[in-house]
Amino acid sequence: MAVAKADQLPPGRMMLVELGRFERILLVNVNGTYHAVDELCPHSGAALSEGDLYGEVVECPLHSSLFRVRTGECLTPPAYEDLTVYQVRVEGDDVLVGPPLS
């Protein structure tokens, strides 16, 4: 599903996108490569799109848990669950997000 135009998300930025009516995804551009993960922190339900991005690591704005957007790996507590990672590809100017990788 096309969720954004490539020029909407420059490198080093992230944005909230919606898949369907209820699924919220965090779309991230890391040095020209797009990644998509769960938008909500598994620990607190905080919106990761409101956190900070450090390279390929996003920080939860509520309790500062860190997640690697390439793999979904949780790097620091208090969260301990990894994020779901979604398939991403670019076709022309469109960024498309597909089903989860795992």
Residue 51 is predicted with a pLDDT of: 98
Q: 52-64 pLDDT, tens per residue?
A: 999 999 999 999 9
Between CA 77 and CA 54 the distance in angstroms is 17
Element (H, E) at 76: none
Q: 74-97 pLDDT, tens per residue?
A: 999 999 999 999 999 999 999 999
Q: Which two tokens stand for residue 96?
A: 């498309």
Q: Which domains does the chain have, with CATH numbers?
A: 2-91 (2.102.10.10)
Split at pLDDT 50, 70, 90, the class of 102 is: low
Between CA 81 and CA 87 the distance in angstroms is 19
Model's pTM, two decimal places? Answer: 0.94
